[in-house]
Amino acid sequence: MHPLRPRNPAESLIWHSLTLTWVFYAFGALYVVGPVLAWVLAGLAALSLYLGKAIRRDLWPTGPVPWIVWLWIIGMSVMLIALWIGHIDWGLGLKKTIKSSIGWAKGWALLALFPLVGAVLPIRRELLIRAQCVLGLWTLLIAPILLLAPYLGLPERIFTSPLKAVGGPGPEYFSVYLFTFDPASWTPRWQFYAPWSPFAALLGVLSVLFALEERHRGWMLAGLGAGVLMILASKSRMGLVGLVCCTFGPRLLPLVIKSWAWLALSAVTASFATWGATALDLGKAGIHGFKAARADSTRVRETLQRIARERWETDAVWFGHGTVQPGPHLVEYMPIGSHHTWFGLLFVKGLVGFLALLVPLLAHLAVVLMDGARNPRGRLPLGILMTLVLLSFGENLEIEAYMLWPALILLGCHLREMSRDPEGREQSHPNFPPPSESPFQHATSSAA
């Protein structure tokens, strides 16, 4: 067996972009790398579809574009149209419309482009998994410096990259941090290569999901260790929920189709009359404790959601306000339309934008649920979609898509696998490296 290496230009771009994440972060360039990679690979996919077998053999299209990918393309195109109409309705001007359209190209568009890339280009799922684990190893190697920084008196932020001139949601997307202090408890939190800690926790969940599919024990442990560390060090409640639900959920799903599982469920349901009240009380206590763990954060988020919903209902039902707006002192001046994908969509792009994301997401989730119940290949994409859904209730998917691209590409790879083998009867036998291969040796060679 031979070490896993890229086989074509598309895989090379993906491999180096993912394994060199910390290098790009050190220059504050991650917000630029994600969108550039999306449009370059999407252009390569379009060229592959257009030229067919006239293009070089290792870039031949793997098949037609799956209908789910078309649904994502249509949905994100509708998102752009809703943005334009919202800007026209509120007279925001040509300059702001162009700026917001560029923002769409760096955000919502990526939710369609990366699945297209994974579905069309010959990109192997195992290469994505291995690259994510290589990134996990680098995270573990750098972690001691980050974890010791607040106790050594080192500054929170090292610098902000001049790349912020290209434009973005804020300077934190171009800044390099060692750690940050939680303003509520004044204790250190770590965000690693993410713009803030809760997002780092969800990236940690994705790292765990990828690592669980890795067949090489050393690389699997590197990915798992990095993911769990990111979740715990970020001190994010949402990350802890994702670690449990998004990892166990897809693996328990096949039990649903087994008769004994239905019998067990019937027995549990029948006995609910005796222990149901106690379970409900425990559940309520758990939810209260979950919110009380970061009471100030919960208050700000709930208030932002309420303001966004009320403004949407009274001002702009169909196409929204076109852009986020500054919030009052009550929410610490956080922008209205932030910190929640769904309320943010209603406020910024109205009901049209809300449905433009909801329809393809639900359709994709339904397809992956059905495949995940029958085939092990569906576990990772199902975990990814569950993580995205969880992320959408605490963050804005649009401004974080630039860091979610490995997961989005893998969703496209899974759709390609389903279209080529609907029943999942084919068994892949990738060339995994022998157990004697050292993760440290591999990571060093990839960085070189």
Inside any domain, residue 260: yes
pLDDT for res 291: 47
Give 304-354 pLDDT, tens digit per residue.
Answer: 777 777 777 787 788 877 677 666 555 555 676 666 788 888 888 889 999
Question: Does a structural domain hold residue 116?
Answer: yes
Mean pLDDT (the chain) is 83
End-to-end CA distance of the chain: 22
Burial of 299-327, coded b for 16+ CB within 10 Å and e otherwise, reads ebbebbbebbeebbeeebeebbbbbbeeb
- Taking each helix axis as running N to C, give the angle between helix 197-212 and helix 379-392, from 0 to 180 degrees, rounded to the nearest 10: 170
pLDDT surpassing 60 at residue 448: no
Who has greater pLDDT, 184 or 284? Answer: 184
33 in any annotated domain: yes
CA-to-CA distance for 271 and 273, rounded, in angstroms?
A: 5
Residue 277 lies in a domain: no
- Arithmetic mean of pLDDT, 122-150: 95
| Range of lowest pLDDT (6-20, 158-172, 371-385, 431-445) | 431-445
Domain range for 152? 9-268+284-423
* pLDDT over 60 (residue 434): no
Q: CA-to-CA distance for 142 and 325, rounded, in angstroms?
A: 37
pLDDT of residue 439: 45
Q: 162-173 pLDDT, tens per residue?
A: 888 887 778 888
State pTM to two decimals: 0.86
Within a domain: 254: yes
Q: Is residue 435 part of a domain?
A: no
Count the domains in the chain.
Answer: 1
**Cα torsion 255, 257, 262, 263: sign:** negative
Q: What confidence tens digit (pLDDT) does each residue in 170-217 have?
A: 888 899 999 998 876 788 999 999 998 999 999 999 999 999 999 999
Query: Is 171 part of a structural domain of the chain?
Result: yes
Nearest partner of 38 among 99, 118, 101, judged by Cα: 118
In a domain, 1, yes or no: no
